[in-house]
Amino acid sequence: MIQNPGFLLTIFAFVAVIGPLVFVHELGHYLVGRWCGVKAEAFSIGFGPEIAAWVDKRGTRWRIGALPLGGYVRFKGDMNAASQTDPRWLEMPAAERAQSFPAKPLWQRAAIVAAGPAINFLFAILILATFAFVHGESRTPAVAGQVQPGSAAAAAGILAGDRIVSLNGREMATFDDIRLFAQIRPGEPVTIVIDRKGKLFEKQGKVGAVQEDDGFGNKFRIGRLGLAPGEPVIEPVSLFRAPVVAIERTGQIIRTMVETLGQIVGGGRSVKELGGPLKIAEVSGQAATLGIESFIFFMALISINLGFINLLPIPMLDGGHLLFYGVEAIQRRPVSPQVQEWAYRSGLAVLLAMMVLVTFNDLSSFGLWDRLSGLIG
């Protein structure tokens, strides 16, 4: 077992992951806001009491909060950090009102809001493109090099040398596609189309479920078909193709996230698998012990997660604002302040409930509740 990082390294690694990613996210809002002529009154990394702050020549207050769990840019005309419109913005002098966020056209407001998640995706794509350029791209064919006896693949009648054409109708171009498909579907039925010596056959099977240890004592239930690849194929990636490979990998990660979230909503997975800030902190420290490349790759994953979560159509998040703008575009007038207020209150309740849930899960994964029940018992 790999030695777990200490408390100080875990805290340092967590801040080193979250701090830059929050800064990058808010910088997207800030830069597009400036490009659209909106005055930023505050740019905050973290919430809570101020640790440090300064005001630049444009009058923007840059601050660092004590709780590094997020951030915000408050534009002129915003009532609070959630970017709710201040009803008094119409009372501003004309020159100031022209610099306010609510005064801008719909497309500019949407662009400012979307810029945060977009730059998180771009940040991850930059990292993944660098890795692709340096290490190349895995293009190992989707061919069964070996079939593990007693495995799901063996039970379905897969033989060594068979090419996996599709799983549940999804094309398998490389062996990595097989692995990614199976690992989030333990115990699920699967239709396997194979190419055996030029002839297509359809097989019915069930993805195997195995318990794996990540080396730090954390156990996961993942899906396995029981196939091993043949000779690995790593193709070099040119500087021009690297961004394309990175975009494809980002799309794969997002698709996996969407499918996993759908399994949780549909009851196929337990909500106990949802993790929060404490779990991110733990994994940050673990990634740091594995080396700089593992740590940077983990940052890319969290950046994609941050962009994805912020696009969820929940009021208080960027996706909630974009939902309102979509409604505004359709009905050609803004959503009423009363509806927005109700939606923001509901969104806040949802986010608080989610935070309580993931924190409970995090503490449970650390064994806190088992220890407490042992003390009580």
- Catalytic residue numbers read 26
Q: Whole-angstrom Cα distance, residue 358 to residue 278?
A: 9
Best CA proximity match to 108, nearest among 62, 59, 75: 75
Q: Whole-angstrom Cα distance, residue 124 to residue 28?
A: 14
How far is the CA of 137 from the CAs of 232, 238, 271, in angstroms? 11, 10, 34
Best CA proximity match to 284, nearest among 69, 90, 15, 2: 15
DSSP state of 78: B
Looking at 185-282, which runs of residues are DSSP E strands?
A: 189-196, 199-206, 208-213, 219-224, 227-228, 234-235
Q: Whole-angstrom Cα distance, residue 286 to residue 262?
A: 28
Backbone dihedral angles phi then psi of residue 72, each to the nearest 5 degrees: -165, 155
Torsion of CA 321, 323, 328, 330, to 10 degrees: 160
Q: Whole-angstrom Cα distance, residue 56 to residue 81?
A: 19
DSSP state of 259: H
Residue matched to tokens 């006896």:
149
Amino acid found at 85? T
